[in-house]
Amino acid sequence: MAEPIPPHLVVLTGAGISAESGIQTFRADDGLWADHPIEEVATPEAWRRDPGRVLAFYNARRDQVRRARPNAAHQALAALEKAGLRVSIVTQNIDDLHERAGSRRVLHLHGEILKARSTVDRRMHYPLPRGGIELGDVCDKGSQLRPDVVWFGEAVPHFGEACDLVAEADLLLVVGTSLAVMPAASLLHHAPLDAPCVLVDPEAEALAPPGVTRLARPAGEGVPALVRHWKREGRLWMPEALLA
């Protein structure tokens, strides 16, 4: 007899899942983003205007990512995958904390800060030179290297793949995202109509669109609590006790 197919949990994560690891969220009042308006560091125009400033900004953020450690939310998702459930993570984050926790199926919608790429050919990837990218570090075609991240205003190359994953979800878990950045936020519309969707975010009450269950807790509490139920029963469901 054929083995039953394990249920498929698709997880959409945003900056909030890494907040308890010490990486500031995008809209937090403190930290790197507050000192650097997006348009000055994370757009193609900023790169054309002052690539040195953009590189310095990402080099500083990269140091922060290297110092950070995966937290209980990253670890719980990795443990669920290890326990045999199908877990696919679609992250808006450019850090590598899901991978360091042990998750193997991670799709980075907005790229990865720990990688460098050519400015003339996005397929040409390079290991990071000397731990950071400096002006004058060039690809094999002689063009300046840049961080392998997707800036505001750029196309999101893996978006189609992410839509396909979400369309296969038995349950969609959304963690730590304000759902303000497009097209990532529109992924929720690709979930099957009968698949429950839950948002774990301290601001869930205000942020969750209609039809989405709200779990207004920090990721490091809310995600492990859900995962404990799912691991115990080997199925994906919404434990009412948690939502009360």
Rounded CA separation 155/171 (Å): 27
Give the nearer residue to ligand NAD in terms of CB position, either 89 or 139. 89
Q: Does 75 bind ligand NAD (CB under 6 A)?
A: no
Give the torsion sign (CA, 107, 110, 111, 117): positive
Give the nearer residue to ligand NAD in terms of CB position, either 15 or 165. 15
User: How many of the other CB atoms lie within 10 Å of CB of 75?
Assistant: 21
Q: Encoding tokens for residue 243?
A: 């939502």
End-to-end CA distance of the chain: 40
Residues forming a β-bridge with 89: 11, 106
Q: Are strands 213-215 and 197-200 parallel, antiparallel or unpaired?
A: parallel
Least gap, CB of 164 to ligand NAD (angstroms) = 20
Q: Does 93 bind ligand NAD (CB under 6 A)?
A: yes
Q: Does 110 bind ligand NAD (CB under 6 A)?
A: yes
Q: Encoding tokens for residue 127?
A: 């290991």
Q: Does 43 bind ligand NAD (CB under 6 A)?
A: no
Q: Does 66 bind ligand NAD (CB under 6 A)?
A: no
Least gap, CB of 72 to ligand NAD (angstroms) = 10
Query: With contact defined as beta carbons under 8 Å apart, do 175 and 150 qualify?
Result: no
Catalytic residue among 110, 125, 158, 229: 110
Give the nearer residue to ligand NAD in terms of CB position, either 138 or 154. 154
Give catalytic residues, as residue numbers.
Answer: 110
Q: Which residues of this chain interact with ligand NAD, rule CB under 6 A?
A: 14-16, 18-20, 23, 25-27, 92-95, 110, 176-178, 180-181, 201-203, 207, 218-219
